[in-house]
Amino acid sequence: MTGTTGPGSQRVKERAFMTRLQRRYILWLLALCCWPALAADRPNIILIITDDQGYGDVGAHGNNILKTPNLDALHAESVRLTDYHVDPTCSPTRAALMTGRDSTRTGVWHTINGRSMLAPDEYTLAEFLRDHGYQTAMFGKWHLGDNAPLRPVDQGFDYTVWHLGGGVGQGPDYFDNDYFDDTYIDNGTVKQFKGYCTDVWFEQAMGYMDTAKQGQQPFFIYLSTNAPHGPFIVDEKYSRPYKALGVPGQIANFYGMIENIDENLGRLRAWLKAQGLAENTLLIYTTDNGTARGNFRTNGEVQGFNAGMRAQKGSEYDGGHRVPFFIHWPAKGLDQGRDVDRLMQHIDVLPTLSELLGLPAPDEDKLQRGALDGSSQAVFWLGLKDLPQPEVRFVHSQRTSDPIKWRKSAVMTERWRLVNGKELYDIETDPGQQDDVASDHPDVVAKLTEAYEQWWGSLEPVFDEVVRIDLGGDENPTTLMSHDWLMEGAVFTAWNQSHVRSNALINGPFMVNVARAGRYRITPMRWPEYVDRPSGCIQASIEFSTTGFVGVEAWPVDPERPAGPVVVELPTGPATLTTTLTRADGKTFGAYYVKVELIEE
Beta strands in 215-261 (DSSP E): 219-224
pLDDT surpassing 50 at residue 27: no
CB 105 within 8 A of CB 367: no
pLDDT in tens, 178-207: 999 999 999 999 999 999 999 999 999 999
Give the model confidence (pLDDT) of 268-314 as tens digits. 999 999 999 999 999 999 999 999 999 876 666 657 899 999 999 99
**Of 93-102, 405-414, 563-572, where does mean pLDDT reach its minimum?**
563-572
Closest C-alpha to 313, from 299, 296, 301, 328: 296
Q: Using CA of residue 393, residue 396, residue 401, residue 404, what is the dihedral sign? A: negative
Residue 386 has pLDDT above 80, yes or no: no
Radius of gyration, CA atoms only, the chain: 26
The pLDDT of residue 104: 98
Q: Is the pLDDT of residue 475 over 50?
A: yes
Listed residue (373, 461, 354, 363) closest to 101, CA to CA: 373
Question: What's this model's pTM, rounded to 2 decimal places?
Answer: 0.93
Confidence band (pLDDT; 50, 70, 90) for 156?
very high
* In the predicted structure, residue 39 carries a pLDDT above the cut 70: no
User: Over pLDDT 70: what percentage of the chain?
Assistant: 92
* Per-residue pLDDT at 113: 96
Is 19's pLDDT higher than 80? no
Q: If pLDDT is split at 50, 70 and 90, which confidence band does 3 have?
A: very low
Question: Which residues 6+ apart lie within 8 Å of 596 measured at CB?
Answer: 471, 472, 477, 478, 479, 480, 512, 520, 521, 522, 523, 577
pLDDT band at residue 388 under the 50/70/90 scheme: low
- What per-residue string of b and e applies to 558-576 under the rule 16 or more CB within 10 Å gives b? eeeebbebbeeebeeeebb
